[in-house]
Amino acid sequence: MIRFQVNGKPASVDADPSTPLLWALRDNLDMTGTKFSCGMALCGACTVHLDGQPIRSCSTPISAVAGKNITTIEGVNADRIGKAVQDAWVVNDVAQCGYCQSGQVMSATALLKRTKKPTDAEIDAAMAGNLCRCGTYTRVRAAIKAAATAIA
Amino acid sequence: MFIEKMLSSNIQSLDAAIDGIALGSAANASRRSFIKMSVGGAAGIAIVPGVALAQGSTAAAPKPGQKPTEQPAAFITIAKDGTTTILCNRMDMGQGIETALAMICAEELDADWSKVNTAFGNQRGNYVDPAMGMHLTGGSNSIKNSYTQYRELGARTRAMLIAAAAKEWKLDATALTAANGVVSGGGKRLGYGQLFDAALKESVPESVVLKDPKSFKIIGKPTSLKVSKEKATGSQKYGIDVKLPGMLTAVVLRPPVFGGKLKSMDASAALKVKGVRAVLPVDLDRGAKGVAVIADGYWPAKLGRDAIKLEWDNAGVAKADNTALLAQYRELAKTAGLQAPGDQYKADLSALANAPKKLSAEFVFPYLNHAQMEPLACTVDLKANACSVYTASQMPGVDAAAIAKATGLSPDQVNIHVQMAGGGFGRRAVPTSEYVIEATNVAKAYAATGKRAPIKVVHSREDDVKAGYYRPFTLHRAEIGYDNEGKIVAWDHKIVSQSILKGSPFEAFLVKAGVDGTTTEGMREPYSIPMQLSVHHPQINVPVLWWRSVGSTHTAFVMETLLDEIAAASNKDPVTYRMGLLADDARGKRHKETLQLAVEKSGYGKKQLASGMHWGVAMHESFESVVAFIVEAGVKDGKPVIGAVTASLHCNFCVNPRTVETQIQGSALMALATTQENHAITLKDGVVQQSNFHDFPMPRITDMPNIAVHIVPSNDPPKGVGEPGLPPFAPALANALRRATGKPLREMPFKLA
Ligand code: FES
Ligand code: FES
């Protein structure tokens, strides 16, 4: 049994310690907001925060998160910045299919928590690992800027 | 083009073809349950018995207002508090159709838009495309074929709500009005929610008067997706998120060569993995045999699969190989193939030999994976006398018929719950129902062990990349003769490409004289050029499929880069040159308006570009919408640099400018991907060489050009936009890069070095 916190609540998972956090969240804890796409830390769809840092949950075994705090897309609105990012995502009509957007929102939130007013280069650096096949990148950038203004 | 071809074709054959799939082994399914219905003068086919059951009638054509696709009760529910749910008869994969159809319906319903939400219908008779007669999301058809349907659904419901209020208040219906979700008149008011139950008891009006578009409040206004918040907060459920009580998860071990068979297996280590329930041989697509690992969740299933030791039997299975394919296709292109049907492809080539100038060109396009971000997933709950399937399918009617055949159930015992899709691009519209039947076979294999559970089959990214159903590997060969003014005197053209539709239920409609229309679509038109076109369709052991914009993924590139080269070689401006090739008819006018808008908005020919940057122009019509791109680009350190991009679009009347803009931008990015290094599927000794995003890479935020989208104003009946934005982007970019380097690009992905 491996124990950790998810969105401020205790969680315990009875699974092989090698199980990626992604599958513990999706299959054991029924939290499907975090998405599976590549399983190899190549696309960012599965991004969550580990003690505030963005990580790829598909490539992070649950053994590595024992006792730690995980924030997922379902809980990121508890944070002022996370809420501002989600609001900006809606106002800017970012999503198309939406499948990559949990990961985009989590990466964007982590960026704004580090850097209140990111430059385009800082947005590029923070978001280049989040793939979007639908091509929402222009609005991802716009929404990050809108959220930055909202939290300023 | 898909729908026109279908409708103009022999409808009997679709009936027969679909009966074939539907009835194949469901021998006791009743032929009577397949009824024909008349659709606005053109015939459509209902492929599911739901139609017959809902109507309780026989083959007599129902009157307007009585068809299953016209029944308000099947599409609209209004709760007491006014919450209005509008069902979508399509699958949504990011194109925003659930919002667009709701807008169209809510407009005529005079609903309170803030109280509208959306849901999906199943594959049955109410939710078939009214022109196609089947639930199909593809061919950029949704708005085109359901615009009037959803307006009428809204208007009929509004009339029924008014009739119910008139009865309640004992007033004449003509004295009442409805607006913003409220019926009022005679000093009284009632919300739609209060009236809805009574309204459903009213008869459905046969004819309704639709609004003058000038008074539209919702249609035509930039509108956010109804599920925008769900998609930003992780609460939107997709097919891969389905969870049913007692559900198990399976992954499938497929042969590395298409059609290979399991020879021997040692599953002992796999069965020891905690959470693995069963390891079972399963029948797969194309006669292959593989192994399903069924477990409590994805991860144990995957660990189990990794632990299987097995041998494959590839006897009698052809092993495709890119090197050999290229040689074979080149050889084929030296000879005339099957004559493409249509007078526009039968030009006299006698002027070619003595033409003042000549251009000879070969183009090569690779196999392409759709790479939708949500890997394929399909949940099957197979019971003794029913099968419920949960998946994001673009053709649930075809899939349901195939499931009926595979399970021996009757089609009305199969129910497909259409899910939101994390992208699709054609991959979820498989004429063979490959991934749905695979999941059904897994459920069958598990049931054969004496146990039953709903089972979700999940593809890993590697499974998805390697599973086949690619945009076909395609080679074009052009021999063009033109004069000193750039006038083309003869154009001899050959295409070598696998047929997507031969052997499928769609063959009868889209394959003519042996030539697959999805291979040739986009050639020559709308330019008046003397072209002779023939096609070779080699049979290769690689499954192929439509991929966003289908044939136009390659034909637009060939046409628009060759014309641009001829213009340049003739010292003609590429815009003027194209304009000169367009006829003065309605089609030519639409093209001219589109190109002209892009010229005006981009500053083409006026604006001074930075040194090293060049203009690139291209235009293409697909699925009845015309799109032009004007791209500013150059080459730096051997890599393309893209500046401002201007797109213009003629889709007739535009229902939701917000999603239309995103479709054009997204299509352009998907086209950009096809030009980028390593974006190709290749095979070696029968085995697909790519597996994930490291070797089949995708554009990132740093690659996204700034794309301004402009829409030509029009009040003509709306056409689709899910695909037409893709074809002209890559040739526009290639044309700019050719100006920068002096060398034409004739291979995808681009090789600039
Ligand atoms: S699923 Fe984790 S990075 Fe792609
Ligand atoms: S919105 Fe579809 S993949 Fe990003």
CATH code where residue B250 lies: 3.30.365.10
B564 and B661, same domain (yes or no): yes
Amino acid at B705: P
Does residue B528 fall inside a structural domain?
Answer: yes
pLDDT tens per residue, range B541-564? 999 999 999 999 999 999 999 999
Task: Supply the pLDDT for residue B63.
Answer: 58
Query: What residue spans in chain A does CATH classification 3.10.20.30 cover?
Result: 2-71
Ligand 2 centroid to B135 CA: how many Å?
24
The answer, yes or no, to whether any atom of ligand 2 lies below 6 A from the CB of A136, is: yes
Task: Supply the pLDDT for residue B41.
Answer: 25
Nearest alpha carbon, ligand 2 atom 4: A132
B536 and B680, same domain (yes or no): yes
User: Number of A:B CB contacts under 8 A?
Assistant: 184
Task: Supply the pLDDT for residue A143.
Answer: 98
Task: Supply the pLDDT for residue A32.
Answer: 98
Residues 293-322 of B with CB under 8 A from A: 296-300, 303
Whether B409 contacts chain A with CB within 8 A: no
% of residues, chain B, pLDDT over 90:
85
B280 and B359, same domain (yes or no): no
Q: Do B666 and A131 touch (CB under 8 A)?
A: no
Q: How far apart are CA A152 and CA A144, in angstroms?
A: 12
Searching chain B, which residue's CA lies closest to the CA of residue A98? B231
Task: Supply the pLDDT for residue B538.
Answer: 98
pLDDT tens per residue, range B343-361? 999 999 999 999 999 999 9
Q: Which residues on A lie below 8 Å from B231 (Cβ)?
A: 89, 95, 98, 101
Q: Is the pLDDT of residue B37 over 60?
A: no
* Domain residue limits at B265: 239-257+259-316+376-458
B351 and B431, same domain (yes or no): no
For residue B4, name the pLDDT band (cuts at 50, 70, 90).
very low
Segment B702-729 shows an average pLDDT of: 96
Does residue B390 fall inside a structural domain?
Answer: yes
B268 and B299, same domain (yes or no): yes
Does residue B307 fall inside a structural domain?
Answer: yes
For residue B7, name the pLDDT band (cuts at 50, 70, 90).
very low
Q: Is residue B72 within a helix (H) or strand (E), and if so which, with residue range?
A: helix B72-75
Q: Is residue A133 within a helix (H) or strand (E), and if so which, with residue range?
A: none
Ligand nearest to the CA of B461: 1
Segment B459-475 shows an average pLDDT of: 98
A32: closest CA of chain B, how far (Å): 6
Choosing from B408, B423, B458, the residue where a domain stops is B458
B492 and B601, same domain (yes or no): yes
Segment B696-702 shows an average pLDDT of: 98
DSSP string, B330-344: HHHHTS--EEPSSGG
Of A33, A40, A72, the CB nearest to B692: A40
Q: How far is CA B351 from CA A73, B480, B529, B576, B577, in A?
A: 65, 10, 13, 25, 21
DSSP string, B159-195: HHHHHHHHHHHT--GGG-EEETTEEEETTEEEEHHHH
Task: Supply the pLDDT for residue A106.
Answer: 98
B354 and B423, same domain (yes or no): no
Residues 357-396 of B with CB under 8 A from A: 371-375
Q: Is the pLDDT of residue B31 over 60?
A: no
Q: How far apart are CA B336 and CA B535, in angstroms?
A: 7
Burial label, A87 (beta-carbon count in 10 A; 0-12, 13-18, 19+): middle
Q: Is the pLDDT of residue B50 over 80?
A: no
Closest C-alpha among A40, A35, A42 to residue A106: A35
Question: Phi first, then psi: what are they for A44, rounded to 5°?
Answer: 85, 0
A2: closest CA of chain B, how far (Å): 16
Give every CB contact of residue B547 below 8 A, 6+ residues apart in sequence: B368, B370, B425, B426, B427, B470, B471, B553
Segment B131-158 shows an average pLDDT of: 89
B438 and B516, same domain (yes or no): no
Q: Is the pLDDT of residue B5 over 60?
A: no
B328 and B251, same domain (yes or no): no
pLDDT tens per residue, range B584-603? 999 999 999 999 999 999 99
Ligand 1 centroid to A120 CA: how many Å?
24
Task: Supply the pLDDT for residue B136.
Answer: 84
Task: Supply the pLDDT for residue B61.
Answer: 52
Q: How far is CA A73 from CA A103, A129, B17, B382, B751, in A?
A: 8, 17, 46, 33, 40
Q: Is residue B299 within a helix (H) or strand (E), and if so which, with residue range?
A: helix B298-307
Which protein residues are within 6 Å of ligand 1, measured from CB? A 36-39, 41-46, 56, 58
Q: How far is CA B321 from CA B284, B311, B689, in A?
A: 22, 21, 10
Q: How many CA atoms lie within 13 A of B339 on its CB side?
A: 8
Of B240, B275, B423, the CB nearest to A36: B240
Does residue B46 fall inside a structural domain?
Answer: no
Give every CB contact of residue A125 below 8 A, 6+ residues apart in sequence: none
Does residue B11 fall inside a structural domain?
Answer: no
Segment B708-727 shows an average pLDDT of: 95
Nearest alpha carbon, ligand 1 atom 3: A41
B573 and B692, same domain (yes or no): yes
Task: Determine the 3-state secondary structure of B45 from DSSP.
Answer: strand
Q: Do A35 and B374 touch (CB under 8 A)?
A: yes
Ligand 1 centroid to A34 CA: how many Å?
10
Q: Do A15 and B236 touch (CB under 8 A)?
A: no
B545 and B418, same domain (yes or no): no
Q: How far is CA B711 from CA B29, B101, B598, B634, B727, in A?
A: 49, 20, 9, 27, 17
Average pLDDT of chain A? 97
Does residue B222 fall inside a structural domain?
Answer: no
Axis-axis angle for helices B552-569, B574-581 (nearest 10): 110
Q: Is the pLDDT of residue B9 over 90?
A: no
Question: Tokens for B652?
Answer: 């007739």
Q: Is residue B711 within a helix (H) or strand (E), and if so which, with residue range?
A: strand B707-711
Does residue B498 fall inside a structural domain?
Answer: yes
Q: Is the pLDDT of residue B28 over 60?
A: no
Burial label, B590 (beta-carbon count in 10 A; 0-12, 13-18, 19+): buried
Under the phi-then-psi rule, with left for phi > 0, alpha for psi from -120 to 50, and beta for the rest, what region is B287? left
pLDDT tens per residue, range B515-535? 999 999 999 999 999 999 999
pTM of the entire predicted model: 0.92
Q: Is the pLDDT of residue B17 over 50?
A: no
Choosing from B157, B183, B216, the residue where a domain stops is B216
Q: Is the pLDDT of residue B59 over 70?
A: no
Ligand 2 centroid to B551 CA: how many Å?
24
Q: Which residues on B lie below 8 Å from A123 (Cβ)?
A: 701
Q: How far apart are CA B533 and CA B524, in angstroms?
A: 9
Does residue B617 fall inside a structural domain?
Answer: yes
Choosing from B216, B249, B278, the residue where a domain stops is B216
The answer, yes or no, to whether any atom of ligand 2 lies below 6 A from the CB of A133, is: yes
Q: Which residues on A lie below 8 Å from B103 (Cβ)?
A: none
The answer, yes or no, to whether any atom of ligand 2 lies below 6 A from the CB of A132, is: yes
Residue, of B24 and B421, whose pLDDT is higher = B421
Whether B694 contacts chain A with CB within 8 A: yes
A79: closest CA of chain B, how far (Å): 13
Task: Supply the pLDDT for residue B8.
Answer: 33
Q: Tell me which of B34-38, B65-69, B288-292, B576-580 is least confident.
A: B34-38
Total domains in chain B come to 3
Of A74, A100, A128, the CB nearest to B702: A128
Q: How far apart are CA A58 and CA A48, in angstroms?
A: 10
Suggest the residue from A23, A25, A97 to mutate for an interface test with chain B (most B CBs closer than 10 A): A97
Residue, of A146 and B45, whose pLDDT is higher = A146
- We find that the CATH architecture of domain A77-151 is Orthogonal Bundle (1.10)
Query: What residue spans in chain A does CATH classification 1.10.150.120 cover?
Result: 77-151
Of A94, A134, A135, the CB nearest to B232: A94
The ipTM, to two decimals, is 0.98
Q: Is the pLDDT of residue B145 over 60?
A: yes
Q: Do A133 and B423 touch (CB under 8 A)?
A: yes
Ligand 2 centroid to B549 CA: how many Å?
18
The answer, yes or no, to whether any atom of ligand 2 lies below 6 A from the CB of B373, is: yes
Which CATH number describes the domain made up of A2-71? 3.10.20.30
Whether B356 contacts chain A with CB within 8 A: no
Question: Phi first, then psi: what are they for B145, rounded to 5°?
Answer: -90, -15
Of A16, A73, A123, the CB nearest to B274: A16
Task: Supply the pLDDT for residue B206.
Answer: 86
Q: How far apart are CA B554 and CA B731, in angstroms?
A: 10
pLDDT tens per residue, range B97-110? 999 999 999 999 99
Q: Is residue B434 within a helix (H) or strand (E), and if so which, with residue range?
A: helix B434-448
B658 and B577, same domain (yes or no): yes
Q: Is the pLDDT of residue B18 over 50?
A: no
